[in-house]
Structures are given as C-alpha cells and as structure tokens.
Amino acid sequence: MTSLRLTMNEEMVERFLDAAATGDLTNVSTLLSRVPSLINQKGYRSWTALMLAARNGHFPVVEMLLSQGCDKFSVNSSSQTAYDIAKFWGHRHICNLLSQTDDCCHRILTGSDLSQQENYFNREMLNRWSEKRMDSKWLEVQQSNPETVYILFSKLEPMVSTTQKDNDALETKLCRFRYEVVKDILKKPATVLIFLGVNKRKKPYSSSPSSSSASHQKKEDVCEPPSWFAIGTDEEAAELLKRVREKNCSFPKSPHRDLLNFSEEEAGVVAQARSLLAWHSRYSFCPTCGSKTTIMEGGHKRSCVNQDCRSLIGVHNTCYPRVDPVVIMLVIHPDGNQCLLGRKKVFPAGMFSCLAGFIEPGESIEDAVRREVEEESSVKVGPVQYISCQPWPMPSSLMIGCLTIAISTDIKVDETEIEEARWFSRQQVIESLLKGPHPAFSVPPRQTIAHQLIRHWIGKNSNL
C-alpha cells in the first residue's frame, strides 16, 4: 500500500511538472488547487515547476506560480535558480518578473542587525563641539592653552609611537604634543590647522546657573576639557621626528595596514583628522573659479578669496569637506549557505573580501548595491538590507555595509575591477574566521567592515 501511495504521489508530481514545462496553465492551476504542496516539488535533477516554466518561456505559468508563493530562490542540482535558467535561454520578460522583490525574499535577511555595531574608526573619544568652530577668539585662546593636545601629520600620515606587547603584537599610539613644541609650525603659512574637538566628559562643561556672569565664565574656562588640534605640515618627516626624544616614533608607511593598529578610541580621532587633511590637500584652489581658498571654521570649511565667485552664494558643496559614500555588500547565495567574495590584485595572497563600489550621484544605496554587484561579478541581486557603516579615512569614504540576496548565481568577473570572485560555503568561511587548519582563503582583518559583515552573516544561524 505504501509503495502504491508513493507511486501515485510521484505520478502527480510528474504530471504537474510536465504541465509547467509545456505551458499548460489550466492543468497547472487545477493540480495545484487539489494538492498545494506540489508547488515546490522537485523532479529530475531537482528541477521545480517554476524552473521548467522559466526554461521554456511560459510567462503566464511563471506569473501564476509566483502569485501562489513558490520558492524562486530554490536551486537545482547545478545550483541554478529559475532566474539563472531564464537568463541563459534569453527570456528577458521572465527575468524581469523573477527579479522583482517581495516579502518572502527577506527570509534570509531576518534576524538582528548591526545598527548598534561600533566598527573600527567609528568610536569618538572627542566631542566635536561644532558650535565653537566659528568662534575665532575662543579657538585662538585654545591654541596657546598649555593643556591643548596637538597631533602631527606629514603627507597625511600621523606621527605615532609603537611598542611591542607581551603577545608580540604592536601597539600604536598617537604622539601628542603641547603648544610650546609646535608653536613655530603654527606660524608657517603652509600649515593646516584643524580643530578636532575636546575630550568627552560625562559632566556638563558649564558651571551652575546660580553663578554670576563673570565668575561663571571663569569657572567654565577651568572646567573645559582639553582641546585637540591636528596639524598638517609640509615639513619633512625627519625634521618633525627631531621634536621627540623617543626612538620608537615614526610615520606609517603603509596606511591601509598601519592605521589599523590604533586603539578603538584613537582610531576615531585619526579618521576625522586624516579625512579632513586629505580634503584640504586637494582644495587649495577653488573648483568653481580657480582662485585661492582660505581655511575657515577651525579647518572645517574653505572659502574662495574671490568675492565675485558664485561659491560664496548659498550653501556650496565645494566649501565643505567631502565624504565619498561607498556601498560594501556581502552577497548571499539563494540557498542561504554560501556567500560571494572577490579579490583584487592588490590584496594579500589568498584574501577575499566583500564587493564594494562608490555610490553615483542621484543613486540610492539599494540601486548602488545591485549595480556594483552586477558590474563586478555579473550576479544579479534582489533584496538589500542595511547593516552598519564605517568611516574609512583613505582618503575620506563612508563605507555603507549591507547584506543582499542573489537572484542569479553565474559569475563572470569584470577584470578591470577584480581578478576573481567565488561562492564560499558557510563552513569555509567559519574555518577562515577561526583560522583553522588549512583554510581555503583568508578574510580581511577584524578592523574592516567587510570582516564584520562576514562575521554577522555567520553569526545569524550559528553558535559562534
């Protein structure tokens, strides 16, 4: 009896799949109304009715199956989705239909996100105190304050001290200077000085409201925490190093590596200062009229000296520091158990990372994710979920981290962008993160948002 029942079920599945393959919409609808569980049943080589209809270009059948909630992310034994099959056979109208997103697409993206994640370069130990940037008298007083902290940059690299910890890891710290040591640099015309903010404090900076105006001001001055400034100078690094007695001071030579060795707090200071100095180095002249520009608002604005320049009218984006938005995304396979990673020629041997690219003017985050993934790998993606972001001061990007679901799986890399892209299984990624024996590849270091996106995906459905 059991054998007969299995045979009858198999026959029903075969009839259903044949109807989908031949485009018999009436028969597909009738069989589905009697046995709803047929909708995602698989036949030879794990092909579903949706795949067969997509293969043969039967748009009405595909449309009806989608309306009934079939699984369009299901893959056959060749790891192809219905979208992959329709694309291969040139059925564009079906590709367009399958690429549309719906609520069921988000099942892989469910779970907690990293919106509260504090990525490397994110943490701020300083209160930026932006309202003080236009107070030139206050800034002038702070510059000569003996408690004020200065950090020195040469060619966008900060002076640092490095020490070796017990575990042989290098600990990098910013070299901090007082006014008396740097006052001669401040007088040089080519020096760029940026007010970064003041040390954060839990208590308010001002005194009690009951104080008189004069005593209030005096007490407020005493209570103010130390101010921080960044100095960008054209003075040679060797000359700057003579200002310190320690032999372990230097300027990083490989910023993409060396700038990842700071504490979380100091990394945020470096991100702010380096990005601003990089902007100043590129905007000495007005992009609008070509005249010289002068520094204003504590280093957070440049203004054209030509009084007739139209950049002085209203808010003009050439006057303020630019931030370049970049999408960086982990592409998840439709099966939910693989992710797409790529590598550039400049990467260390064996390292793969998330795909990334700049957002274009007038483009949304979601559209930028879809465009960049397809440009670099030919893979199409559907739903996009924002996870977290990270400033990246090389020179001044904001990395916008996302997860996205692939709706096609064939890879063809754009060799001008990346040299290789591959699907990696969840187990391969876990081995790489845990640095187990002979991992198939390596992921970027923990200070990168790419690492955090990968770890987030792994952590969604595991006990790591």
Q: What is the pLDDT of residues 232-264, one digit of tens each?
A: 998 888 889 988 877 789 998 888 888 999 998
Specify the domain boundaries for CATH 1.25.40.20 within the chain. Answer: 2-100
The yes-or-no verdict on residue 78 having pLDDT over 80 is no
pTM greater than the 0.85 cutoff: no
Rounded to 5°, the CA angle 314-126-218 comes to: 90
Among candidate residues 176, 154, 159, 157, the one with its CA nearest the CA of residue 234: 154
Burial class (CB in 10 A: 0-12, 13-18, 19+), 213: exposed
pLDDT value of residue 105 = 54
**Which residues, at least 6 apart from 228, have a Cβ–Cβ distance to it below 8 Å?**
126, 148, 149, 150, 151, 195, 196, 197, 198, 199, 269
Average pLDDT rounded to a whole number, residues 347-351: 93
Q: How confident is the model at residue 459 (pLDDT cuts 50, 70, 90)?
A: confident
**CATH superfamily ID and name for 2-100:** Ankyrin repeat-containing domain (1.25.40.20)
Specify the domain boundaries for CATH 3.90.79.10 within the chain. Answer: 324-460
Full strand arrangement of the beta sheet holding 126-127? 126-127, 192-199, 227-233, 149-154, 157-158
3-state DSSP assignment of residue 374: helix
CATH: 1.10.10.10, 3.90.79.10, 3.40.190.10, 3.40.50.720. Which one for 324-460?
Answer: 3.90.79.10
Which of these ranges, 34-43, 95-104, 268-277, has the smallest mean pLDDT? 95-104
Helix ranges (DSSP H) in 110-197 = 136-143, 179-186
Torsion of CA 147, 153, 157, 160, to 10 degrees: -40
Q: How confident is the model at residue 121 (pLDDT cuts 50, 70, 90)?
A: very high
Residue recorded with tokens 């209570």: 223
Record the tokens describing residue 279, joined without a space: 């902007």
pLDDT value of residue 102 = 56
3-state DSSP assignment of residue 6: helix
Record the tokens describing residue 418, joined without a space: 């990346």
Q: pLDDT tens digit string along 162-207?
A: 887 766 677 889 999 999 999 999 999 999 999 999 998 644 444 3
Torsion region of 43: left, alpha or beta (phi above 0 gives left; psi -120 to 50 gives alpha)? beta
Among candidate residues 123, 124, 126, the one with its CA nearest the CA of residue 225: 126
Rounded to 5°, the CA angle 11-16-19 comes to: 125
Record the tokens describing residue 107, joined without a space: 């099942």
Q: What share of the chain is helix, strand, coil (3-state, %, to 5)?
A: 35, 20, 40
Task: Return the exposure string of 420-440: e unless at least 16 CB atoms fall within 10 Å of the residue's CB, then b.
Answer: ebbbbebebbbbbbeeeeebe
